[in-house]
């Protein structure tokens, strides 16, 4: 029996810098409410696209 959740059922957000959708990652499990950017590159840009 498979465990976990299908990728299509994971929560999504839109990146504040590039505007692209990104999905939940295990490393963001405890801080998902605080995640705004999809990557380090976008975090460095800080919304200046």
Any idea what DSSP says for residue 25? -
**Residues 1-49 pLDDT 10s:** 667 888 889 999 999 999 999 999 999 999 999 999 999 999 998 656 5
Q: What is the pTM of this model?
A: 0.76
For residue 17, which phi and psi values (nearest 5 degrees)? -95, -55
Q: Which residue has the tokens 């950017």?
A: 37
């Amino acid at each position: 029996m498979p465990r976990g959740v299908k990728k299509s059922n994971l929560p999504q957000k839109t990146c504040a810098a590039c505007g692209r959708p990104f999905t939940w990652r295990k490393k963001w499990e405890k801080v998902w409410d605080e995640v705004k950017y999809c990557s380090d590159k976008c975090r460095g840009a800080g919304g200046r696209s």
